[in-house]
């Protein structure tokens, strides 16, 4: 990691930039592939899959028999771990259910909001260099809780045409309805447009590399919603003298090993901490099976010394990290100053890996600075919030004159008429009732 000593604020923006592929070239690639997928369907998806993943691929949908057999290839130890993670994720996401609360905003005017599930969702699961079956849990569990009627999963096959059994097992366990062996841009395009085999979905979820992220952005243009711009993984650690440098190094490497386009940042108000963490990085890196990926990611990463923790947090808020670890003496107090982060990990024992797998929070989080405006995936991501309003005669009387005045000023006469007619009907009914009451009294 490159070490930077107390940079001036004018340099922060440059330091907070992520390594990116040239965007014009990237988007041109996406658009060419999307064009073919939209016109040729399965034929185009299979052609791209043969080119990038499995050269002999003939079909896209994974057969039920293959899914059933996957369970036999998953160890009992891993099954128990998955079950624990599933339970915690379910518990946390069930807690996000909202009660319907009706509010009378004016006499005779009641408003409320209810959730309705998104009917058909698509889940993208990276499976190339790391089979992320944990992401199946993070996406399928809340989708099922929300009541989504169809959960479509796409994940790339390996060079032998196989999908990691843990992905298939977890998908079956969590209620995924259909699984397809397709990855990258072609998977996103297929779920966006729909093909003979892969259904068009209403919303696409899941992380991926910059190609996948670019494809998801394009999918929005063609009318398919996405969870968020979720690209290469990243972590920012703020560490002071109370941190455990070995823990910090391990957390940095846990993100660096995702791939060469990942980025990790260390901020500290203690120069010795930075030196010690760098030594730990060198030692721990040597024992990693994915050493090459992590080493490449570290080349794009930085350790920055600031004179105080306030500047560390200010820089972090500018960077808006996907994962933020506060390995400091008073992490809860420090966290009150955080305004931009996907997920925050407090203290020396709150490793980012806990959130990735089993604490219960969702690990599908905004990257590349999008945490300034986006939240991580939650139960809300899988539902629409529909508002309701019910007006009685009293309600239209209380609001009507104001609505008429506003509609008239905006020169929207039909809007005004919709209220005027109702006011007239209410007044006519009121007058008729008075007339009948007076007649009864006369008699």
Same fold, 23-227 and 232-375: yes
Query: pLDDT of 149-207, one tens digit each?
Result: 999 999 999 999 999 999 999 999 999 999 999 999 999 999 999 999 999 999 999 98
CA 199 to mean position of chain CA atoms: 21
The answer to whether residue 352 is catalytic is: no
User: What is the overall mean pLDDT for the chain?
Assistant: 95
CATH topology of domain 393-442: 1.20.5
pLDDT, block means (10 residues), the chain with 443 residues: 94 88 84 98 98 96 96 97 98 97 97 98 87 96 98 96 96 98 97 98 92 93 92 92 98 92 94 97 94 92 97 98 97 98 98 96 94 96 98 97 97 98 94 78 60
Distances 252 to 34, 145, 191, 233 between C-alpha atoms, Å:
36, 33, 34, 11
CA distance 155 to 135: 11
Q: Where are the domains of the chain?
A: 23-227, 232-375, 393-442
**Which of 234, 257, 280, 322 does the annotation list as catalytic?**
322
CA distance 421 to 432: 16
Q: Work out the burial of residue 286: count CB atoms within 10 Å of its CB; fewer than 13 is exposed, 13-18 middle, 19 or more buried.
A: exposed
Task: Please calculate the CA angle 33-38-39 and round it to the nearest 5 degrees.
Answer: 100
Query: pLDDT of 175-185, one tens digit each?
Result: 999 999 999 99
Widest pairwise Cα distance in the chain: 103
User: 232-375 domain in CATH 3.40.50.1980?
Assistant: yes
The answer to whether residues 291 and 326 touch, using CB atoms and an 8 Å cutoff, is no
Select from 193, 165, 189, 192 the least CA-distant residue to 179: 165
Its sign, for the CA torsion 168, 171, 172, 173, is positive
Predicted pLDDT of residue 20: 67
CA distance 159 to 212: 19
Percentage of the chain surpassing pLDDT 90? 88
Q: What is the CA radius of gyration of the chain?
A: 27
Helix (H) / strand (E) containing 281: helix 271-285
**Which of 93, 164, 258, 323 does the annotation list as catalytic?**
323
The answer to whether residue 322 is catalytic is: yes
**pTM score:** 0.92
Residue 296 structure tokens? 């490449």
Predicted pLDDT of residue 145: 98
Homologous superfamily (CATH) of 23-227 is: Nitrogenase molybdenum iron protein domain (3.40.50.1980)
């Amino acid at each position: 990691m490159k070490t930077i000593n107390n940079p001036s604020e004018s340099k922060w923006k440059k330091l907070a930039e992520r390594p990116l592929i040239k965007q014009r070239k990237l988007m041109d690639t996406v658009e060419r592939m999307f064009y073919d997928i939209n016109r040729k369907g399965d034929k185009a998806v299979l052609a791209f899959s043969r080119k990038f993943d499995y050269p002999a691929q003939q079909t896209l949908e994974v057969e039920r028999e293959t899914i059933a057999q996957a369970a036999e290839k998953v160890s009992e130890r891993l099954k128990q771990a998955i079950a624990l993670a599933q339970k915690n994720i379910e518990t946390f996401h069930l807690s996000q259910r909202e009660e319907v609360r009706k509010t009378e905003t004016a006499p005779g005017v009641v408003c409320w909001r209810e959730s309705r599930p998104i009917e058909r969702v698509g889940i993208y699961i990276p499976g190339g260099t790391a089979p992320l079956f944990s992401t199946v849990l993070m996406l399928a569990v809340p989708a099922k809780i929300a009541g989504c009627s169809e959960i479509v999963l796409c994940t790339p096959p390996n060079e032998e045409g196989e999908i990691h059994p843990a992905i298939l097992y977890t998908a079956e366990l969590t209620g995924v309805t259909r699984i397809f062996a397709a990855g990258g841009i072609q998977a996103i395009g297929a779920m966006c447009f729909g093909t003979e085999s892969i259904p068009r979905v209403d919303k696409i979820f899941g992380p991926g590399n910059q190609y996948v992220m670019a494809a998801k952005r394009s999918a929005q243009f063609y009318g398919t919603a996405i969870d968020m711009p979720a690209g290469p993984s990243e972590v920012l650690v703020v560490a002071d003298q109370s941190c455990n440098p070995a823990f910090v190094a391990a957390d940095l490497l846990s993100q660096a090993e995702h791939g060469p386009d990942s980025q990790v940042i260390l901020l500290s108000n203690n120069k010795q901490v930075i030196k010690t963490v760098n030594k730990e990085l060198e030692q721990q890196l040597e024992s990693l099976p994915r050493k090459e990926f992590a080493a490449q990611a570290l080349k794009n990463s930085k350790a920055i010394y600031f004179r105080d923790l306030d500047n560390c947090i200010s820089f972090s808020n500018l960077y808006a990290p996907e994962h933020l670890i506060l390995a400091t003496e008073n992490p809860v107090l420090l966290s009150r100053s955080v305004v931009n982060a996907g997920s925050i990990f407090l203290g020396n024992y709150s490793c980012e890996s806990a959130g990735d797998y089993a604490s219960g929070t969702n690990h599908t989080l905004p990257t590349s600075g999008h945490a300034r405006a986006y939240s991580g995936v939650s139960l809300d991501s899988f539902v629409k919030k529909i508002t309701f309003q019910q007006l009685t005669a009293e309600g239209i009387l209380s609001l009507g004159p104001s609505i008429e005045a506003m509609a008239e000023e905006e020169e929207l006469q039909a809007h005004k008429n919709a209220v005027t007619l109702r006011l007239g009907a209410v007044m006519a009914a009121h007058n008729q009732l008075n007339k009948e009451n007076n007649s009864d009294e006369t008699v």
